[in-house]
C-alpha cells in the first residue's frame, strides 16, 4: 500500500471560487428575472484577445512545423536563446539589466512559484503575506513546510515590511499585489532587500503584474534595487501582460549570484539547482509559444499589449473614482488591475458579497478568501468591459 503525502490533508479546500459560483447560481435560480442583469467583476482572468503580433507569431511558428528543415523537436529545457534574449531586452528597456543566461522560460508563474519549493529544505522560516495569492501557501503546505504570516492591513497599506524580530529564510513578495493591488516603492523594496541580505534570506518575488505599473518611479522588478541579485528570484509571466492565460508563457530569473552555504560549509547555487530541476522534470515550453512570446516581448509587441492594459486600467479608474466619491478606503487600481476596498458599513466580506449580488447583481470576490486580513475587504477587478464596469459602478453608487 502506498504511504501517501499526508500533508495534502492540511491543504485547505480551494472553496473560494466554487462558493462564489454556488451562491451566484442559487441566486439565478431564485431570481430568474434578474439573472440577465448579473455583472461579474470578480474575474481574475483577462478577457481581451491576443494581440496581432502574438497571433502572427503563432501562425508563423505553426507553419514552420510543416517542413523537415524548419520543424522543431525538443528544445532547450531552459527555453530558446532567442526568447531568453528577448526577455533580457524587455528588462533592459525598463531600465534593469538581467543576464539572458539567468532567464528560465516556463509555462506559468504558478508552476514555477509552486515548483521552487523543491529547492528548499523542510525547516525554513517562510514568510508569506496575508492576504495572499493562495499558491504560495498551498504549495508549501503540500511540502509539509511551515509558514509564518505577515499581516497586510490598512495601517501598512497592505504592504507588510520586514520585522527585525523575525529571522526569515524565505520571503514571498508579490508587487503589484494580487489581491490588494498595492505596489511597493523603491525605498520599501530596498528595506526588504537589505533585510534579506542581512539575514542571508532569499526573496521570491512575483512580478506578474509589472506591466500594469503606471507610475514611473515605482519598481517593476526587484532587480531595480541594488543588491537584489544576491538575494532574490523573480517570477513573471505573459498571462496578464499579453493575455497569455490560456496560451501559457512565463519566465523566472534565477541570478548566478544566488549562492548559500550548506551544512558541510560548501556553497550551493540556486541557479544551478533550478537548472538541474528544470532539465530533469521539464521539457520546455512549446516552441510555437516561445516564438510568439518573443514577438510580444519586442517594443512593438509590447505597445500592442499596452493598448489592452490601458483598456483594463480605464475600468480600474472608473471603479476607483466611484469608491473615492463614496469615501470608501481602497488600495490598487492605479498600478494594478485589482481594487481592494474596505466593506462599507462594517460589513464582512461574504456579507457584502451577498448584499451586492442581491441588491445590484454585481459579483466580486470576498477578501476573506485570501486570508484572515481580508475579512472586511473586497476585491473588484478591471478585466470586464467598459460598459459592464460603468453600469456596475452606477448601481454601486446608488446603493451606498
Ligand atoms: C495571474 C497570476 C500569476 C500568473 O500565473 P501564470 O501561471 O503565469 O498564469 C502569477 N502570480 C499571481 C499573483 C497571479 O495573480
User: Phi and psi dihedrals of 151, rounded to 5?
Assistant: -85, 125
107 lines ligand 1 (CB under 6 A): no
Interatomic CA distance for residues 193 and 228, integer angstroms? 6
Write down the pLDDT at residue 377. 98
Distance of CA 237 from the midpoint of ligand 1 (Å): 7
Distance of CA 1 from the midpoint of ligand 1 (Å): 36
Neighbours of 200 (CB within 10 A): 12
237 lines ligand 1 (CB under 6 A): yes
- The answer to whether the beta carbons of residues 306 and 265 sit under 8 Å apart is no
- Please provide the average confidence, as pLDDT, over all residues in the chain: 97
Distance of CA 250 from the midpoint of ligand 1 (Å): 9
- The answer to whether the beta carbons of residues 360 and 392 sit under 8 Å apart is yes
Q: Residue-wise pLDDT tens for the chain (400 aa)?
A: 999 999 999 998 877 888 999 999 999 999 999 999 999 999 789 999 999 999 999 999 999 999 999 999 999 999 999 999 999 999 999 999 999 999 999 999 999 999 999 999 999 999 999 999 999 999 999 999 999 999 999 999 999 999 999 999 999 999 999 999 999 999 999 999 999 999 999 999 999 999 999 999 999 999 999 999 999 999 999 999 999 999 999 999 999 999 999 999 999 999 999 999 999 999 999 999 999 999 999 999 999 999 999 999 999 999 999 999 999 999 999 999 999 999 999 999 999 999 999 999 999 999 999 999 999 999 999 999 999 999 999 999 999 9
Sign of CA pseudo-dihedral 224, 227, 228, 230 = positive
- pLDDT digits 0-9 by tens, 73-107: 999 999 999 999 999 999 999 999 999 999 999 99
Question: What does pTM read for this prediction?
Answer: 0.97
- The answer to whether the beta carbons of residues 182 and 175 sit under 8 Å apart is yes
- The answer to whether the beta carbons of residues 126 and 169 sit under 8 Å apart is yes
Secondary structure class of 104 (helix, strand, coil): strand
Angle between helices 299-325 and 386-399 (to 10 degrees): 20
250 lines ligand 1 (CB under 6 A): yes
108 lines ligand 1 (CB under 6 A): yes
Amino acid at each position: 500500500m502506498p504511504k501517501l503525502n499526508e500533508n495534502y490533508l492540511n491543504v485547505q479546500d480551494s472553496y473560494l471560487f466554487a462558493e462564489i459560483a454556488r451562491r451566484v447560481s442559487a441566486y439565478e435560480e431564485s431570481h430568474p428575472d434578474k439573472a440577465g442583469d448579473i455583472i461579474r467583476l470578480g474575474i481574475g482572468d483577462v478577457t481581451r484577445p491576443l494581440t496581432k503580433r502574438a497571433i502572427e507569431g503563432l501562425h508563423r511558428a505553426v507553419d514552420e512545423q510543416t517542413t523537415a528543415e524548419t520543424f522543431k523537436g525538443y528544445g532547450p529545457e531552459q527555453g530558446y536563446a532567442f526568447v531568453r534574449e528577448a526577455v533580457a531586452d524587455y528588462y533592459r528597456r525598463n531600465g534593469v539589466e538581467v543576464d539572458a543566461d539567468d532567464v528560465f522560460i516556463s509555462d506559468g508563474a504558478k508552476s514555477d512559484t509552486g515548483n521552487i519549493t523543491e529547492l528548499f529544505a523542510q525547516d525554513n522560516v517562510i514568510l508569506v503575506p496575508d492576504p495572499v495569492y493562495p499558491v504560495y501557501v498551498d504549495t508549501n503546505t503540500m511540502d509539509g513546510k511551515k509558514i509564518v504570516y505577515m499581516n497586510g492591513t490598512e495601517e501598512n497599506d497592505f504592504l507588510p515590511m520586514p520585522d527585525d524580530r523575525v529571522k526569515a529564510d524565505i520571503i514571498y513578495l508579490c508587487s503589484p499585489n494580487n489581491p490588494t493591488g498595492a505596489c511597493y516603492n523603491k525605498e520599501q523594496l530596498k528595506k526588504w532587500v537589505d533585510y534579506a541580505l542581512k539575514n542571508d534570506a532569499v526573496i521570491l518575488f512575483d512580478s506578474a503584474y509589472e506591466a500594469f505599473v503606471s507610475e514611473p518611479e515605482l519598481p517593476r522588478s526587484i532587480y531595480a534595487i541594488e543588491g537584489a541579485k544576491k538575494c532574490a528570484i523573480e517570477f513573471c509571466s505573459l498571462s496578464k501582460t499579453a493575455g497569455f492565460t490560456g496560451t501559457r508563457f512565463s519566465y523566472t530569473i534565477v541570478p548566478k549570484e544566488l549562492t548559500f552555504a550548506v551544512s558541510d560549509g560548501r556553497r550551493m547555487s540556486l541557479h544551478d539547482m533550478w537548472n538541474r530541476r528544470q532539465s530533469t522534470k521539464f521539457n520546455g515550453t512549446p516552441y510555437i509559444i516561445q516564438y510568439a512570446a518573443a514577438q510580444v516581448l519586442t517594443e512593438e509587441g509590447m505597445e500592442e499589449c499596452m493598448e489592452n492594459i490601458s483598456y483594463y486600467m480605464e475600468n480600474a479608474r472608473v471603479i476607483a473614482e466611484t469608491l473615492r466619491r463614496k469615501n470608501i478606503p481602497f488600495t490598487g487600481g492605479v498600478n494594478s488591475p485589482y481594487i481592494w476596498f474596505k466593506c462599507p458599513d462594517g460589513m464582512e466580506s461574504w456579507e457584502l458579497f451577498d448584499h451586492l449580488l442581491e441588491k445590484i447583481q454585481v459579483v466580486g470576490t470576498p477578501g476573506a478568501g485570501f486570508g484572515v486580513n481580508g475579512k472586511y475587504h473586497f476585491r473588484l477587478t478591471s478585466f470586464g468591459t467598459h460598459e459592464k464596469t460603468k453600469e456596475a459602478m452606477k448601481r454601486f453608487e446608488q446603493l451606498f
